[in-house]
Amino acid sequence: DAGVTQSPTHLIKTRGQHVTLRCSPISGHKSVSWYQQVLGQGPQFIFQYYEKEERGRGNFPDRFSARQFPNYSSELNVNALLLGDSALYLCASSWWAMTPGSYYGYTFGSGTRLTVV
């Protein structure tokens, strides 16, 4: 089975531009989470989507948005890019249900390396 796939793998954008990052979860996984990892830091939570609804949002400005499609793939959009948005953007998928006792394992993709110049 394919793991979590993210595209593109690398991207260079100019300040002020807009970017769209894409993620395909593992087959059968209905939850997708997005993380930002700045060099030298641990990943920081941005969003989680489950069944196309936003279930959680981290401390990120409104320039960051996301959505999940009927096939459970997801897009992360960032508007008005700043130099500080340069980071590795990670997507994680999970078989996730609000059922006590269910196993929650998160599988991460290899990420999209975004450089803002």
Partner 1 sequence: DAKTTQPPSMDCAEGRAANLPCNHSTISGNEYVYWYRQIHSQGPQYIIHGLKNNETNEMASLIITEDRKSSTLILPHATLRDTAVYYCIVSPKGGSSNTGKLIFGQGTTLQVKP
Binding partner 1 (rule: CB under 8 A), the pick from 74, 94, 114, 116 is: 94
Residue 7 touching partner 1 (CB under 8 A): no
Torsion of CA 88, 115, 84, 90, to 10 degrees: -20
Whole-number Å distance between alpha carbons of 57 and 46: 6
The values of phi and psi at residue 82, to 5°, are -115, 160
Q: Which is nearer to partner 1, 17 or 100 (CB)?
A: 100
Residue 107 touching partner 1 (CB under 8 A): yes
Whole-number Å distance between alpha carbons of 16 and 5: 27
Q: Which is nearer to partner 1, 40 or 70 (CB)?
A: 40
Residue 64 touching partner 1 (CB under 8 A): no
Sole window of 12-20, 35-43, 63-71, 76-84 interacting with partner 1 (rule: CB under 8 A):
35-43
Subset of 72-91 contacting partner 1 (CB under 8 A):
90
Residue 25 touching partner 1 (CB under 8 A): no
* Interaction site with partner 1 (CB under 8 A): 4, 31, 33, 35, 41-45, 48, 50, 55-58, 90, 92, 94, 96, 98, 100-111
